[in-house]
A and B are shown apart, each in its own frame.
Chain A
Amino acid sequence: MPSSEPSAAQRLSHLYTDNHAWLFAWLRKKLGCPHEAADLVQDTFTRILSSRDILFSIKEPRAYLTTTAKHLLINQARRRAIEEAYLAGLIALGEDHAPSPEQVLVAVEALAQISAVLEGLADKPRTAFLLRYLDGLSHAEIAAALGVSTKMIQKYLVQALVHCHAALGQDQTIAS
């Protein structure tokens, strides 16, 4: 059936042919490595491919693509920082059995998600939240550690959970 409106495949194809070259050049300049740039170009288009809505609503392809690529870049940098810190921490612990690459990958994935979700949460609620669930401290112990009442700690913890819930709802790609 002929249609004046281009199909999703045609749109993507146009978007790709029109923008692939400059996006690659831009990322290459930013990253200084052609391989990483090529990977990130691919990731950027894959992200668009994953949502028909995005594909049909893009008005400014350049702006959208650079924003998406920047997001991916930041995530990549965040992930790398997390991985480095986590591995350094494990080595410092002196664990006898080194985790497998898969275990590290899963852990880094989870930590990246948690850190993205905790982003923007105020210091005190975040600290209370981590002390409760990462360190397994009781409300009273956290209250003593932070020098506030148990009631305040409960308020912080509720605040943290609500914040995380909102953050998870906002970015379904992270939640998935």
Chain B
Amino acid sequence: MSASSTDIAEQAAEWLIQLSDESSADTQAAFARWQQADPRHAQAVEQMQGLIGQLEGFQHASTPAHAALKAGMTPSKRRHKAKPIAGALFTLLALCLPVWIALQHYPLDYLMADISTSTAEWKSQTLADNTHITLNSNSAVDVEFDQHQRVLRLVQGEILVDVAKDAARPFVVKTEHGSITALGTRFVVSHHDHATALAMLESKVMVNSGLADHAAGTLVTQGQSVVFQQDGVGSISTIDADSLNDAWKLHQLVVQDQPLSDVLAILSRHRRGHIQFNPDELHAYRVTAVLPLDNTDHALQLLADSLPLSVRSYTPWFVLVDPHP
């Protein structure tokens, strides 16, 4: 009566496992006798010991070996069951993600605006009344002109406005934070999340915070800038109107003693990729510089040259900026 190969394998395995825990002389001797009884016994043992030996050979690097074996094995059946759901979720995510990213980057207001620019795009346009506007990167405006007034609604980003004279119809730039009534002027309006900033290049405007048009506003004249929110107009500071004029002509960013995090946020708007930074870590650094907006790589390099920063770019689409350790 001869044992089947499965029986032999099972016996061989039992011997090896028993010996791997305790190996008294008696057990060893019994095991030797069993091996000698049939050449197939010894063969099975040899094969199993070969595999065990291979595994034991990796004991010095067990962690990488575990990882490698895991990578080499297809997931077990239980995980297969979860796959359709995971697959569906993934598909859903893959379908929704572009939309989500687009809405993050370009909110609905922006997508529906009358005039808009995308990242790293500048656009100049003459409106019906001969007013000349230039949109900075990632900006959007709605034009609402009628017989009584000319309203430019800045939805996002930054514009340079060169207002054409029209005594009958006042020219007003509105943002969610308030309004700027032009009195024949050239100025820049920047829309930020929490506030709107105004820089006067020529002549003067009247600024009203909030959405209602108050009779008495704040007068801002050439060479001055001001930041306003819905609940009030901040104090007036001075700017260099000439260099700001040049900046718009040459697509530069002129900053005077501004927090680095604000500057990076502006550069980020001009960049197709993402600039990652922690505002809290960088708030202490202040920047006074003229930076090229059409070449943000160069702008980042200029910042890194003058400040203790590390600028690491992983792909053209992802740059990480943090303070030098």
17 A-B pairs with C-beta separation under 8 A: A81-B72, A85-B64, A89-B63, A89-B67, A107-B65, A114-B69, A115-B68, A116-B72, A119-B73, A122-B76, A134-B56, A158-B13, A161-B48, A165-B9, A166-B6, A168-B51, A169-B5
CB distance from A95 to the nearest CB of B (A): 8
Q: Are B64 and A165 in contact (CB under 8 A)?
A: no
Q: Are A162 and B10 in contact (CB under 8 A)?
A: yes
User: Is B52 engaged at the interface, CB distance under 8 Å to the other chain?
Assistant: yes
Cα-based distance from A78 to B65 in the complex (angstroms): 14
User: Is B16 engaged at the interface, CB distance under 8 Å to the other chain?
Assistant: yes
Q: Which residue of A lies closest to B78 (CB)?
A: A123
User: Is B39 engaged at the interface, CB distance under 8 Å to the other chain?
Assistant: no
Q: Are B54 and A82 in contact (CB under 8 A)?
A: no
User: Is B59 engaged at the interface, CB distance under 8 Å to the other chain?
Assistant: yes
Cα-based distance from A81 to B74 in the complex (angstroms): 11
Task: List 7 extra interface pairs beyond A79-B72, A85-B67, A89-B63, CB under 8 A.
Answer: A85-B70, A89-B64, A92-B64, A114-B54, A133-B56, A154-B21, A161-B16
Q: Which residue of B lies closest to A90 (CB)?
A: B64
Task: Report the interface size for chain A: residues with CB under 8 A from the other chain.
Answer: 50
User: Is B17 engaged at the interface, CB distance under 8 Å to the other chain?
Assistant: yes
Cα-based distance from A175 to B43 in the complex (angstroms): 13
User: Is A145 engaged at the interface, CB distance under 8 Å to the other chain?
Assistant: no
User: Is A72 engaged at the interface, CB distance under 8 Å to the other chain?
Assistant: no
User: Is B169 engaged at the interface, CB distance under 8 Å to the other chain?
Assistant: no
A92: which of B9, B55, B63 is its contact (CB, 8 Å)?
A: B63
Over the window 1-27 of chain B, the binary record of Cβ atoms lying under 8 Å from chain A Cβ atoms (1 yes, 0 no) is 000011001101110111011000000
Q: Which residue of A lies closest to B54 (CB)?
A: A110
Q: Which residue of B lies closest to A106 (CB)?
A: B57
A111: which of B12, B21, B65, B74 is its contact (CB, 8 Å)?
A: B65
Contacting residues, chain A, for B263 (C-beta < 8 A): none
CB distance from A68 to the nearest CB of B (A): 19
Residues of chain A whose beta carbon lies under 8 Å from any beta carbon of chain B: 78-79, 81-90, 92-93, 95, 107-108, 110-119, 122-123, 129-130, 132-136, 138-139, 154, 157-159, 161-162, 164-166, 168-169, 175
Tell me the interface secondary structure of chain A in the complex.
helix
User: Is B62 engaged at the interface, CB distance under 8 Å to the other chain?
Assistant: yes
Contacting residues, chain A, for B167 (C-beta < 8 A): none
Over the window 234-248 of chain B, the binary record of Cβ atoms lying under 8 Å from chain A Cβ atoms (1 yes, 0 no) is 000000000000000
Q: Are B68 and A89 in contact (CB under 8 A)?
A: yes
Cα-based distance from A159 to B59 in the complex (angstroms): 22
Q: How large is the interface on B (under 10, 10 to 19, 20 to 34, 35 or more residues)?
A: 35 or more
User: Is B58 engaged at the interface, CB distance under 8 Å to the other chain?
Assistant: yes
A132: which of B6, B20, B63 is its contact (CB, 8 Å)?
A: B20
Cα-based distance from A74 to B229 in the complex (angstroms): 62
| Known A110-B54, A114-B51, A123-B76; contact A134-B66, beta-carbon cutoff 8 A | yes
CB distance from B73 to the nearest CB of A (A): 5
A166: which of B9, B17, B65, B72 is its contact (CB, 8 Å)?
A: B9
List residues of B (160-215) whose CB comes within 8 Å of A's CBs.
none
Q: Which residue of B lies closest to A133 (CB)?
A: B55
Q: Are B72 and A111 in contact (CB under 8 A)?
A: yes
Q: Are A165 and B48 in contact (CB under 8 A)?
A: yes
Q: Which residue of B lies closest to A86 (CB)?
A: B68
| Known A92-B63, A110-B54, A134-B59; contact A165-B69, beta-carbon cutoff 8 A | no
Cα-based distance from A119 to B63 in the complex (angstroms): 19
Q: Which residue of B lies closest to A116 (CB)?
A: B72
| Known A157-B17, A158-B17; contact A85-B56, beta-carbon cutoff 8 A | no
Contacting residues, chain B, for A162 (C-beta < 8 A): 6, 9-10, 13
